[in-house]
Every structure is written in structure tokens, then in C-alpha cells.
Amino acid sequence: MSRVGLIFRPVPRTGVIYVMTEAAARGFRYGHPEWANLGQGAPETGALPGSIPRLESIPLDDTTHEYAPVVGLMELREAVADLYNQRYRRGMPSRYSAENVAIAAGGRVSLTRLATSLGAVHLGHLLPDYTAYEELLDIF
């Protein structure tokens, strides 16, 4: 067996449907006070006891009903670069600019963009929380 075979083992396929089915068999249901779905990007949407009321709507003008640029809004990219310069580049000659920053709409999109920027690499991983991440990592 190759050295790589000794270090990394095949990882079985899992998935949200399997996990949710197993949880339901053990008593999970949405709204149950003893359960919380922390693995599916499922935020609590009901009222939170003791908190301020949730927003029910956000008025938007017609110019905001489009997708943002693929790499993110320039103002946000500049703000992120400024924040990183203040926190991590203070006193250093090189600085981040908006050109060094990309803003993505979610984890899967971010990881996919990162993977495509790396090129061919050898990558080992443990079983990720979300099936799509495992398939993404299998690209390598």
C-alpha cells in the first residue's frame, strides 16, 4: 500500500437527507424545544423570548434589486481591506487594497472560488459537515 493510502482512508458519503432522517428517527422536529438544527444553515426564524421583535420587511428601492458584482461591492471590499490593514498590516510597507479582496455570497461559493484559485494540489481532509464540501474537496 502506498504511503498516501496509510495516511488517508476513503470517506463514506453522507448527506443532509441521511442526517435529517436519522435525527427525525430520534425525535427531531422543527420547533421542538430540545432540538436545534445547527448543521444545515437553518437559522431560527421564530420569535426569540426576551428579544426585540424581528424585522418583517426591509424597504428597498428599485436600484437594489440586482445581484451584486461577482467579486463584491467595491465599497465593501475597500472597507475589508482597510480593516485588515488596521488589524494586521500596521507598520508594514505592504498594504491590502480592494483588489486583494473578494466578497462571496456564501460558504460553498467561497470555497469553490478558493479551490479554483489553487490549481492542482494534494489535499487530505476529514469528513466535512456538508456533503457538497466533500465533493468540492474531492476535486483535488
pLDDT number for residue 140: 62
For residue 88, the model assigns a pLDDT of 96
pLDDT tens string 37-90 = 776 666 667 787 888 988 888 888 887 777 777 788 899 999 999 999 999 999
Q: What is the pLDDT of residue 7?
A: 67
Helix (H) or strand (E) holding 87, with range, is: helix 74-88
CA distance 72 to 105: 9
pLDDT in tens, 79-134: 999 999 999 999 999 999 999 998 988 777 787 788 777 777 776 656 555 556 66
* pLDDT confidence of residue 75: 95
Q: 94, 74, 72, 76: which is closest to 85 by C-alpha?
A: 94
Rounded to whole angstroms, the Cα distance separating 20 from 40 reads: 9
Question: What are the residue ranges spanned by the domains of the chain?
Answer: 69-100
Residue 98's CB: how many other CB atoms inside 10 A?
19
Question: Nearest-CA neighbor of 128 among 44, 30, 2, 39?
Answer: 39
State pTM to two decimals. 0.49
3-state secondary structure (DSSP) of residue 54: coil
Instruction: Give the pLDDT score at 20.
Output: 81
Looking at residue 4, its pLDDT comes to 55
